[in-house]
Amino acid sequence: MDCLFCKICAKTIDSDIVYEDEKVIAFLDINPVNPGHVLVLPKIHVEHLVDLSDEDILPVMKVVKKIMKALMSQSDVEGINILQNNYSAAGQVVPHVHFHVIPRKQGDGHRHWPGTAYQEGESAIMAERIKSAL
């Protein structure tokens, strides 16, 4: 398989692993937003979150929480971002489901994307579209 993260799971590519069990692996991002930025992913190859089974997502989310707690125990961490991108249009670079657990502190210079208010009636239409798809 030509997936970078599958190669890390198989230990054919070195990484700084911070957690591993039968189903999940977590390692330091090689281009961290802040020091301690960890990627958490299932060991099975699944490209997008929507394709990950309910059974397989639970162990991943438990590890995300565990990593978050470990990072929050560090004296210089004041907050955590949990980020998960799907498809290239949303910024997914490696086509293997993964969660970014990013330690944050006040004034670290990183900002969220800007929001834009809905036009009159637009939010109700969008809410209905989402509800009908559920």
State whether residue 102 is helix, strand or coil: strand
Taking alpha carbons only, the member of 99, 11, 104, 9 closest to residue 62 is: 99
Please indicate whether residue 98 is annotated as part of the active site.
Answer: yes
Q: Determine how many CB atoms are found less than 10 A away from the CB of residue 66.
A: 16
Catalytic option among 45, 98, 100, 112? 98
Positive or negative: CA dihedral 120, 111, 88, 16: negative
* Active site members: 98
